[in-house]
Amino acid sequence: MGGYYDTGHIISQSMELIKNSKGKRVYIHLIPENVENPSIVRPQESLEKFFRDIGAKPVPGSNGEFWELPDFSKETFRRYYRFILGTEPPSDPYKMIEETKAMFKWAKTFWQQDCLRSLLDWIDRLFMSPAD
């Protein structure tokens, strides 16, 4: 197997897909760079671990090519928070914001910064905004 899937980009994109799903099922389809001569059949272990950690499920029979993403919920947020920040989210949303903002000084790539911005948006939508 040559190459790999860009886990950081997939993390960032999956957060946007879930946030904008409006209660619909959302799937990620992993497509090799060279479709005529695919060098990747299954996602690498780190990407499979990420999917399992956030509660995504492989679509049966897809050989790891299709994954159903979890719903936009506080539980899904907690799973992303644990995966991205490496710690349990505090119960206080203001503390979540503080911890997330503190991580920006360590974010070296665009996707890391994008994931942190998404976490802040999720905190606002799930914990700070009045219920619809």
- pTM (predicted TM-score): 0.84
The CB-side HSE value for 30 (13 A sphere, CA atoms) comes to 27
- The domain tally of the chain equals 1
- Checking if the pLDDT of 49 tops 50, the result is yes
Dist CA 111 CA 11 (whole Å): 8
How do the residues of the chain divide into helix, strand and coil, expressed in percent and rounded to 5?
50, 10, 40
Domain with 16 in it: 1-132
pLDDT digits (tens, 9 = 90+) for 52-109: 999 999 999 887 888 999 999 999 999 999 999 999 999 999 999 999 999 999 888 8
Residue 81 and residue 120 in contact, taking contact as beta carbons nearer than 8 Å = no
**Between 91 and 131, where is the model more confident?**
91
Helix H or strand E encompassing 128: none
